[in-house]
Structure 1
Amino acid sequence: MGTAETVENTRLVEVVLPGVVEPEGLRIQQREIPAPGPGQIVVRMEATGVSFAEQQMRRGRYYDQPPFPFVPGYDLVGTVLTAGEGVTPGLVGRRVAALVKVGGWASHVVLDAADAVEVPAGVGAAEAETLVVNGITAWQMLHRKARVRSGGTVLVHGANGGVGTVLVQLARAAGLKVIGTASARHHEALRELGVTPVDYRAEDVPARVRELAPGGVDAVFDHLGGRSVVDSWRLLAPGGTLVSYGSATTRDNSGSKQLPVLKILGRVWLWNALPNGRHAYFFNIWEGRALRKDRFRARLGTDLTQVFQALQRGDVAARVAARLPLTRAAEALRLAESGTVAGKVVLVPDSGEGESASPAL
Structure 2
Amino acid sequence: MLTEVVLPGPVEPEGLRLRTRPLPEPGPGQALVAVEASGVSFAEQQMRRGKYYDQPPFPFVPGYDLVGMVAATGAGVDPALRGRRFAVLTKTGGWASHALVDAGDLVEVPDGVDAGEAETVVVNGITAWQMLHRVARARPGMTVLVHGANGGVGSTLVQLARHTGIKVIGTASPRHHEAVRALGATPVDYRDPDLPARVRTLAPGGVDAVFDHVGGEGIVDSFRLLARGGTLVSYGTAATRDVPGSSRAPVLKLLARLMLWNVLPNGRRAHFFNLWAGRRRLTAYQARVREDLGQVLALLASGDLTAHVAARLPLAEAAEGMRLAESSTVTGKVVLVTGHGTGPAGNRATEGAAR
TM bucket normalised to smaller: over 0.9
How far apart in 1 are the matches of 2:5 and 2:78? Answer: 30
Instruction: Within 5 Å, give how 1:1-361 maps onto structure 2.
Output: 11-290=1-280, 292-350=281-339, 353-361=345-353
SS in 2 for 1:109: strand
8 Å contact kept, 2:155–2:183:
no
Count of residues in correspondence between the two structures: 350
Q: Percent identity?
A: 69
Cα offset for 1:311?
Answer: 1.2
Deviations 1:88-131, CA, capped at 9 Å, x for gaps: 01101100010000000000000111111111101110011000
Partners of 2:151 and 2:30 lie apart in 1 by 33
User: Does the CA contact (< 8 Å) of 2:32 and 2:73 recur in 1?
Assistant: yes
Which moved further from structure 2: 346-355 or 225-234? 346-355
Q: What is the root-mean-square deviation of aligned Cα atoms in Å?
A: 1.1
What's the TM-score, normalizing by structure 1?
Answer: 0.95
Helix, strand or coil for the counterpart of 1:280? strand
2: CA distance, partners of 1:191 / 1:279: 28
Q: Specify the SS of the correspondent of 2:215.
A: coil
Q: Secondary structure at the match of 1:294?
A: helix
Q: Could you tell me which residue of structure 2 aligns to residue 3 of structure 1?
A: none
Contact 1:135–1:307 (8 Å) recurs in 2: yes
Q: Which moved more, 1:320-329 or 1:303-312?
A: 303-312
Amino acid at match of 1:293: L
Name whichever of 110-119 and 267-276 sits farther off: 267-276
Aligned residue type for 2:285: F
Task: Tell me how far apart the structure 2 counterparts of residues 169 and 160 of structure 1 sit (CA, whole Å).
Answer: 11
**Cα displacement string for residues 36-58 of structure 1 (whole angstroms, at most 9, x for unaligned residues):** 00111100000000000000000
Structure 1 segments unaligned to the other structure (5+ residues): 1-10
How far the C-alpha of 1:19 sits from its partner, in A, is 0.2
Query: C-alpha offsets along residues 213-254 of structure 1, whole Å, 9 cap, x if unaligned?
Result: 110000000000011111100000000000000000000001
Question: Aligned to 2:304, what secondary structure does the other structure show?
Answer: coil
Q: Higher mean Cα deviation, 332-341 or 203-212?
A: 203-212
What residue ranges of structure 2 are gaps of 5+ in the alignment?
none
Q: Secondary structure at the match of 1:338?
A: coil
Whole-angstrom CA distance in 2 between matches of 1:298 and 1:39: 16
Runs of 4+ in 1 over 6 A off after TM superposition: none
* Distance (whole Å) between structure 2 residues aligned to residue 284 and residue 59 of structure 1: 20
Q: Please report how far the alpha carbon of residue 359 of structure 1 lies from its aligned counterpart in structure 2 after TM superposition.
A: 4.1
Q: 8 Å contact 2:69–2:85 — kept in the other structure?
A: yes
Residue identity in the other structure for 2:310: A
CA distance in 1 between counterparts of 2:228 and 2:192 reads: 28
* Cα distance in 1 for residues equivalent to 2:339 and 2:78: 30
SS at match of 1:339: coil
CA distance in 2, matches of 1:343, 1:100: 20
Counterpart residue identity of residue 167, structure 2 = K
d(CA) in 1 for partners of 2:345, 2:158: 31
Distance of 1:354 and 1:309 partners within structure 2: 25
